[in-house]
Structure 1
């Protein structure tokens, strides 16, 4: 006898609030067996559409690109290393017969390179973008600056994605933007007073989580900015997934939790699902195909004033029009 929906939803919520089981492969395995688990996208849901995935040469990015390709999308792998991107493209073409995969280079933390990339898409013949997944991420072990002198995680996770989306927005009418964030952001509040992390002793995990918190807090602002294009803007967090980035950034955590870590496909599932199922609900943080709260602690809650201050900083650094 199937569980009543109320019980199923209660189990789902309990997994989410207790974090550890919900973020692991145990959480997704349990949720997939619940009657409230949303249906998969229809086969061929993205045929005739184009998806761009940043950081697509490994881990979650490669899994996301493969998921979009399996739904029929033409996929552009946006990578820093053209050689790695070409190797990934060949792997995807073997894994998904008939897949349309191309490679474009861009350093998402370098705002000048983001501008070049957006212009180059015209040359590459990408007239429309239906799905834009900002997956590229990094956690430098010490404070590092981008080409324009911005703290690296904030440049790569916030400034670059905002600028790229804004430049591509004319060809994204009715499309969907997904920011791949992290559950680590639950432990940090928005720091509009110190976006460059110039105060206090630098911590790579804190910097990473702060930038991911900024992604989530800016969702309503970004949704409003691109509303005239009917662009949906969401964030997903993959839970605890076993990726090359985790191994290089948090090796001790990976050793302790490896038996419970999700694989890359599981971590990318909700991002692919959002693109293929294309739910009307937007402006939300999603995990395991459900909208999730953006705060688990009262100390991380953000007011409108602080959010607008962060947005003003983003506008200033990217030189975008404030309107």
Structure 2
């Protein structure tokens, strides 16, 4: 067996056994194996613009930091303006005045519309749009438009924001990236109950279901947006040590703490996909710089009809035409 074939076998074993592959051990082992994809050029995004949602902490801040290190002017979308200004000040001290702060609660689709209007009116063309904002509510929570919050924040808002920013992305070899979660592997697509109206509500299940929906919709979104020259991806960061994990999953954080990835390891593939040339195949899921399967067991594999129903639901909620504008 050649070195690269052996590396692929080790990589796949890490991926399928979950815990080793999602921990910092998986990242460090993969990076040391033959065939680890090369880093983007140090100035890959020089003079270009990128936008990161959920940029006030954790993976969002780290992603903004690393995109700026590659030369990008980064637009920071935050919900809390005070936290956002603090992060912006810190990043400016490191990279210079190449950050623009935007404030919006992305769980509110009316605020998403206003945000998109503001960005489209004032921002130069975007090279990367990173949908990182997320939440894991303990109880079933409704958005102002009365959508279950995780679906509003993780699916409806990113699709709507991208749709409204297509003129800003068009013709720019742009990358749209959904930061998803390996937890989605435990859930099947619930096209029959996208708003989680049935059964006892679980925040972790709702979160995983919404992330499953993100990933299943990737091919539909790629088909829809590729005419604008956009490539669409989802990345899952593995088990990263973020404030969100500490706040929402304290027991998980306590048990896995010694093997959690640092923020750089968690953000690595998102930043890599935003900047590497040429752009990899779109409509795909990635982890540790390699394309990954969408489902690991027959129980969680979706049919084309199920994905079509989920996409029709998204279209209906957002009043989207069959073709992107």
Gaps of 5+ in 2: none
Q: CA deviation at 1:99?
A: 5.1
Q: CA deviation at 1:127?
A: 2.6
Which residue does 1:184 correspond to in 2? 183
Which residue does 1:24 correspond to in 2? 23
1:50-104 Cα deviation digits (max 9, x unpaired) = 10000000000000000100000000000111111111011112233x3501100
Aligned mates of 1:315, 1:110 — CA distance in 2: 17
Which residue does 1:193 correspond to in 2? 192
- How many residue pairs were aligned? 320
1:76-225 correspondence runs (5 A): 76-96=75-95, 98=96, 100-123=98-121, 125-173=122-170, 174-225=173-224
TM, length-normalised to structure 1: 0.97
Aligned mates of 1:256, 1:265 — CA distance in 2: 21
Q: CA deviation at 1:184?
A: 0.1
Aligned mates of 1:100, 1:47 — CA distance in 2: 11
* RMSD between superposed Cα atoms in Å: 1.2
Contact kept? 2:236, 2:287, Cα under 8 Å: yes
Contact kept? 2:120, 2:168, Cα under 8 Å: no
Contact kept? 2:39, 2:272, Cα under 8 Å: yes
Aligned mates of 2:130, 2:41 — CA distance in 1: 20
Q: CA deviation at 1:106?
A: 1.5
1:228-239 correspondence runs (5 A): 228-239=227-238
TM, length-normalised to structure 2: 0.96
Q: Which has the higher mean CA deviation after the structures are superposed, 19-28 or 114-123?
A: 114-123
Which residue does 1:309 correspond to in 2? 309
Secondary structure of residue in 2 paired with 1:53: strand
Secondary structure of residue in 2 paired with 1:177: strand
Aligned mates of 2:201, 2:97 — CA distance in 1: 43
Secondary structure of residue in 2 paired with 1:76: strand
Q: CA deviation at 1:282?
A: 1.6
Aligned mates of 2:46, 2:263 — CA distance in 1: 23
Aligned mates of 2:35, 2:129 — CA distance in 1: 27
Aligned mates of 2:288, 2:282 — CA distance in 1: 15
Aligned mates of 1:157, 1:60 — CA distance in 2: 15
Segments ≥4 residues shifted beyond 3 Å: none
**Structure 2 CA distance for partners of 1:22 and 1:172, relative to 1, 3 Å:** same
Q: Which has the higher mean CA deviation after the structures are superposed, 299-308 or 271-280?
A: 271-280
Contact kept? 1:69, 1:99, Cα under 8 Å: no
Q: CA deviation at 1:238?
A: 0.3
